[in-house]
Structure 1
Amino acid sequence: MNVAIRYAADSDIGCSRENNEDSGYAGARLIAVADGMGGYAGGEVASSTVIGSLRSLDGDARDVDELVGSLGRAVAEANEKLRIVREERPDLSRMGTTLTAMLWSGHSVALAHIGDSRGYLLRDGELFQMTQDHTMDELLKSEAEQAGGTADPAETSRLSHVLYRVLDGREDREPDLKLREAKLGDRYLLCSDGLSGPVDAQRIYEILTAEADPVRAVQRLIETARDNGGPDNITAVVADVVEADHITDPETALTVGAAGQA
């Protein structure tokens, strides 16, 4: 059985920010979210540069054996573009961006992740977080668990938003890369922490299960984040795995946030 994805994407400035540093993309073979950082203009440039670079992946189908390698190379090329921008624009030397992206080929999908944007999977009535935040608190918790102990809650709380891995044009910025198998009926959510921060996993689950239409699901998620204070930019991409025959007309690729205005 041939499968395809039906998708929706949107980005919102939130309730507290003066500009939108998030970028997102959704197309027939690629979905991605990037959350930029780095002061005035830096975050917008970083996220839009990376999303703009990755868009070239949303073309012809790739062999499954090449899927992870193709996505990994594309992320490396995007990071190299950030290096070039930083050299040309010293005022953007502090810029960087998270990235969570999925590249599809039939039932197979490659997942790339760096930073604290997130990827969720809703399958058979259960919600799973596919990605691990690259924040200092998660690193401390992991190290403590490996040592057979627990991390200091006060210390982890203080470091909950401190990233130790992002794309910023420097060397050794390797994303987590995985090959996953998609199933008919799966629903995927990629989002920036402007959504996963103010909206807990239970509420995300409730919205994803209540709203069958991906467009409405994205709208509800963003509305809920805003209702909960909207302290940061909010970006969400929802993709449903459906039978290819159910998509009669090719869907238009969507570019949102800073990349959509670039």
Structure 2
Amino acid sequence: MEPSGSLTLRYAVATDVGRRRDANEDSVYTSPRLLAVADGMGGHVAGEVASSAAVAAVTEFDRRLAEDTVEESLADALAGMVGDAVRRLGNLVEEDPLLQGMGTTLTALLWDGTRFLVAHVGDSRAYRLRDGVLEQITRDHTVVQELVDQGRITPEVAMTHPSRSVLTRALQSGGEAEPDIFAVEARAGDRYLICSDGLSDVVPAELLTEVLTTVEDPEATVAKLVEIANAGGGPDNITCIVGDIA
């Protein structure tokens, strides 16, 4: 499958260990068809293993897209990709029981030339900047997001809540793949950001909007976002993809 339509996608990616972590447990994948961020967890090397397994599933799915061997609908195929990631995690735990309990987020955007199909599990985020307005198009699968939805805390309080990283959904061995899958229609001039919480937990939406609005080049944009997250303490690994539609 090659993207078709009059719109084009240009993208850039950056990933950084941050200021306080010894290893980068984020994994990232980019191609003209598929953009994905995975943020692993589990301690020691398990987080890195988990996110790498998720991206291996993304890579295999993109290979099938390139070879045009995807027979089901793209939405079903994306769900299958997430299921493949869970199976890979299970296989790794069978090989090494010390990896038990590892998990990862996964946020992937599939570009077909006119829209993105999104598969999302966890709290890595996708945003869209359109006409100067930044909108988070994914919903965090976190305890804190549920508190916001219930009206018990405000989004501003959620930014610094001590439980903001406690997930209600993630990809884990032996778990169920429960991705949010939805389509987002694209327009020329749209700018998309996919990132791990090492960016979104540190850089407020107002500053994200400012950078995405004022820095035009995608490579310069992702570099600036990483710089700002590190200037804010860099408490976690930082990964971001910026995709521009023209």
Give the TM-score of the pair, scaled to structure 2. 0.90
Letter aligned with residue 52 of structure 2: S
Letter aligned with residue 225 of structure 2: L
SS of aligned partner of 2:172: coil
Moved over 6 A (4+): none
Cα deviation for residue 43 of structure 1 reads 0.4
1:257 corresponds to? none
Cα deviation for residue 151 of structure 1 reads 5.0
Measured in 1, the distance between the counterparts of 2:226 and 2:210 equals 14
1:258 corresponds to? none
Cα deviation for residue 115 of structure 1 reads 0.8
2:136 corresponds to? 129
Letter aligned with residue 18 of structure 2: G
1:87 corresponds to? 94
Whether 1:55 and 2:62 are equivalent positions in the alignment is no
Cα deviation for residue 172 of structure 1 reads 2.1
Which ranges of structure 2 fall in alignment gaps of 5 or more residues? none
Letter aligned with residue 59 of structure 2: R
Task: Answer whether contact 2:117 2:182 (CA < 8 A) is retained.
Answer: yes
Measured in 2, the distance between the counterparts of 1:171 and 1:138 equals 21
Measured in 2, the distance between the counterparts of 1:151 and 1:220 equals 31
Cα deviation for residue 200 of structure 1 reads 0.5
Measured in 2, the distance between the counterparts of 1:185 and 1:71 equals 26
User: What root-mean-square deviation, in Å, do the aligned CA atoms of Structure 1 and Structure 2 show?
Assistant: 2.0
Matches within 5 A, 1:114-125: 114-125=121-132
The percent of aligned pairs where both chains have the same amino acid is: 46
Task: Answer whether contact 1:67 1:105 (CA < 8 A) is retained.
Answer: no
Letter aligned with residue 10 of structure 1: A
Aligned residues: 235
Which ranges of structure 1 fall in alignment gaps of 5 or more residues? 243-262
Matches within 5 A, 1:69-84: 69-84=76-91
Q: Which structure exhibits the higher relative contact order, with contacts defined as CA atoms closer than 8 Å and separated by 6 or more residues?
A: 1
1:225 corresponds to? 229
2:206 corresponds to? 202
Measured in 1, the distance between the counterparts of 2:19 and 2:69 equals 40
Measured in 1, the distance between the counterparts of 2:244 and 2:40 equals 26
